[in-house]
A and B are shown apart, each in its own frame.
Chain A
Amino acid sequence: MTLTGWESVFFWIFSIAAIFAGLLTVMARNTIHSALFLISSLVSVAALFILLQAEFIAGVQILVYVGGVMVLFLFVIMLVNVGSEERGNEEIFNRPRQVTASVIFCALLVAVLIGALNTGYAGFERRDESKIHEAAEGRRTRDQDLAKSATGSSRITNDTSRIGNSLYRFASLPFEIASVLLLVAIIGSVMLARTLKQEASVDDVDPDVLRAEAAVDPELAEVQTKPLA
């Protein structure tokens, strides 16, 4: 798996974009800016997925992350008040000593990871060198056999159908469990975000709590359909 020509140019563009956008996500003062930088980082990583010929994952990344999760983030940022942080009245990082300690820790982690990756990959390469060269040749001939797309300028791969097949053949149980997980997440987040008034209107509040709260806010007792004992 070696990229050549324009692919390597795009690799450097998108990887540098992903890392810079990631850094700015962590460092931006305005939370909305953070979210927008995270979106651009995620899109850059999706482009890297395309370079790795994982088109389906790139599509899922953009649809789910950028179209779903990040919109949720932006809505929550608008619902909570982050104004004092944005205006500079509030420190955005932890205390200086904590920040220094964690930055030193992260720098050590970077040094160790990159050192280990380079030596480890050298061993990988020695083991698989002939296979890598064969694969590069094989892919070139295989690409010629693929069906042409409608415009004729590119070819259609069958990678997505292979992922779908494997998803049902090897991972059908995790797939079903994931659907249960999503259901639990939907119900859980709806339950968590309810207000006391909404809870009272479906008779879902502890009577003692409700009595204490209704003393402050009489409206609460009114929305309760069951009368307070």
Chain B
Amino acid sequence: MFTLFIPALVLLFQEANAGPFAVAWQKAQHPDLSKFLVIGALLFIIGVAGVLTRRNIIVIFMSIELILNAANLNFVAMSRYLQDTGNVNAVAGQIFTVFVIVVAAAEAAIGLGIVIALYRNKETILIDEIDILKW
């Protein structure tokens, strides 16, 4: 049975070396800009899903951090690509990232201050119970 098994495996690998699977494997061994952008896109979508589905306002803030981080990843990957292809001011992407991090820190400080003030007055941090702006 084992002797039958080996030729089958060899056949399988020969098949795999030519098909679209092999091309994908080749590409996976050499991640380029597009892979980084896909990871950024996935992190962004996870963040959006978190903002849309969670009830806890602190977790919503964390999801916003995730979104900003995905944008940072895109900025840095693009900046790396532009450095390689010799375009314009190539570290501009990294400088943008520094500013995004600054704004995210300011946003987190203010947002969490609002959360504490809200909790003191309403005794809850679930967004569907905070409806004082509704008429």
Q: How far is the CB of A61 from chain B (nearest CB, A)?
A: 7
Docked complex Cα distance between A103 and B89 (Å): 39
Docked complex Cα distance between A2 and B85 (Å): 12
| Cβ contacts under 8 Å, A41 to chain B | 43, 66, 69
Neighbour of A110 across the interface among B41, B65, B69, B120, CB < 8 A: B41
Docked complex Cα distance between A25 and B83 (Å): 33
Query: In the complex the two chains form, is B92's CB within 8 Å of A170's CB?
Result: yes
Docked complex Cα distance between A185 and B55 (Å): 25
Interface residue? A178 (CB, 8 A): yes
Known contacts A48-B39, A171-B95, A189-B109; is-contact A12 B28 (Cβ 8 Å): yes
Interface residue? B134 (CB, 8 A): no
| Cβ contacts under 8 Å, A77 to chain B | 58
Docked complex Cα distance between A121 and B77 (Å): 13
Query: In the complex the two chains form, is A12's CB within 8 Å of B31's CB?
Result: yes
Known contacts A94-B53, A192-B117; is-contact A124 B33 (Cβ 8 Å): yes
Q: How many residues of B are in contact with the other chain, CB < 8 A?
A: 75
> What would 10 A/B residue contacts be, using CB atoms closer than 8 Å?
A23-B46, A25-B63, A61-B101, A72-B112, A90-B126, A94-B54, A99-B52, A110-B41, A117-B41, A159-B91
Query: In the complex the two chains form, is B80's CB within 8 Å of A2's CB?
Result: no
Q: Is the interface of B mostly helix, strand, loop or mixed?
A: helix
Interface residues of B in 73-106 (CB under 8 A from A): 73, 76-77, 79-81, 83-86, 89, 91-92, 94-95, 97-99, 101-106
| Cβ contacts under 8 Å, B73 to chain A | 45, 48-49
Q: How many residues of A are in contact with the other chain, CB < 8 A?
A: 90
| Cβ contacts under 8 Å, A189 to chain B | 109-110, 112-113
Interface residues of B in 12-33 (CB under 8 A from A): 28-33
* Residue with the greatest number of chain B CB neighbours at <10 A, chosen from A73, A92, A93: A73
Known contacts A49-B76, A65-B101, A192-B110; is-contact A92 B28 (Cβ 8 Å): no
Query: In the complex the two chains form, is B81's CB within 8 Å of A82's CB?
Result: no
Docked complex Cα distance between A169 and B56 (Å): 42
Q: How far is the CB of A3 from chain B (nearest CB, A)?
A: 5
Query: In the complex the two chains form, is A22's CB within 8 Å of B98's CB?
Result: no
Query: In the complex the two chains form, is B55's CB within 8 Å of A91's CB?
Result: yes
Query: In the complex the two chains form, is B69's CB within 8 Å of A45's CB?
Result: yes
Interface residue? A195 (CB, 8 A): yes
